[in-house]
Structure 1
Amino acid sequence: MATARASSARSEVCVPAPWIAAAGTRDLLRAGEDTRPPAVAADGVTAPVEVPAATGACAAWPALEVTSSARIVEAHAFVLTDLGALTPVHLTHTPLPDGPGAVPARQPREATGAAARAAWAPTACRLREMGGDAVRAVNIWEFAASDLPDGGGRAVWSCTRASGWAGTGDVLVRLGPAAGPPQDVTRARATAACGRFGRHVLAGTRWRSPAGRWYLLAAGSREVAGITATGAVRARAEGRTLSAPAGPEGAAVSLTARLAGGAAVTALDDRGGGRD
């Protein structure tokens, strides 16, 4: 955090740079912890900000939260982290809609509120897989929610997208049950999926219920009007989610979604699938 120095015969005072109102560090793995101000030396220079460990146990994930000054622009807080490149990476969060029914597409929000902190806590360590000089921002988009079979509770489907400066990015889709850790669904590299130019998403996975039964689960983004499974599982559902008894492990299943406008979308996979 840059500072400006004002001196007089009696004292010397360090003044924060005019474009920064506040800055602090926090651990992304601990959603409930407060932001801690950085240590500032007598000459106004902050101590080095801790960066995430590149290898070994992921016991903490430091991030920097900065608030811009209203004297320059509107007061605006945002979160940055280090992935080993020359510039820090901007972290954001796109939450589920507040109510049912068709809603306008949401823009990513800053990862500063309670919901964003809760979303990032189980995801931050996966940023190690998204490092590199080309990453400029990472967003967690919660694109669907579904009720799990056999009393499994409510689950949120999310797509974490690491966007590169060149436009494409890597994505990781996860299923997050209310109880238990998130389950990886699929990932894709060098894709437009889950971004501005890949806003229609369909994903599916096998999931074991509390009763020990296996199911095929699938979910789509807000414009999905129906989902069809073919192959080892043959099932159809209206709306944005599908649940059906799973076929044998490893047996091929194809998923297709019908959009409200009539177009079709295939499931996202590790080849970057999910094309309209």
Structure 2
Amino acid sequence: MDIREMVASITKEILQSMNQEKKPPAPRVLYVFCDSQAHEAFADHFIQLKNHGICHDILFLDGETSSWLGMHKIECGGAGKILTADEYAPIPLEVPKEYAGIVIPEIDLDNAARVANGLKGTIKAELVFSALVTGKFVLVGSDVPGIKRADRRTLATLTLPPAYEKLFHRHVQEMKELGVEFAEQKRLADKVIAKLNAGKKKEEAAPGQPVLTALDETEAVFSGRLLTADWIRSQPQLRNTTLYVKQGSIVSPLAYDSLRERGVTVSYLGKG
């Protein structure tokens, strides 16, 4: 092959590679765990995410103000504090930029209070603050005692006393008002899949195409005029919830049967 043929071949390959459509990167979420053993109960979650084309990373807390993301040690920064442990590690506020959302299976009274009051100073509080400010979703386990794993081991107790429990639930309500979403720990992966699929469908949906909008873990809204069994089969996350449809929308008999099998109750918007 002479030089001209070689140049022509290389040029052709370059042009072909430039014309190929680049696939968008797979969405990625970050799971935040209290220690290096807490993630073991979520192995099925990670398989489920992988099967839906969703990547995940795991961040292990190493105390309240430091954590490990892969080989990087991430620390909270204070006023005038210089990080020397890992000069290449991001600060907590930078971490959510790389993810579609943050998943915190367990939150405690201290971190709930910090988030609810807009305070920083811990890894969880700073991750939540950064994610909410930048428009990323934050999912937190709803069936948690409000007392962190280390405190449960040290104090040999599993629950907070009534006064602290009441305070914890008040902070949880304030977190919801800030945009934090809650779901049972066993449904966190379902919630992630539903949120990312809903966003993808809104981008791809043609005008007038039915869209399912999740309000929370117990309610969702159908925007179309005809609800069919085929559409229900395309929504694997639609289970054990209340589905709201607009007045005048038609629900086919087979759709009613499919919804009943999934434990879904149909309710019409605006109907007293």
Q: Same fold (TM over 0.5)?
A: no
- Hey, which of these two has a bigger chunk of strand by percent? 1
Select the structure with the greater relative contact order (CA < 8 A; seq sep ≥ 6). 2
- Hey, which of these two has a bigger chunk of helix by percent? 2
| TM-score using structure 2 length | 0.28
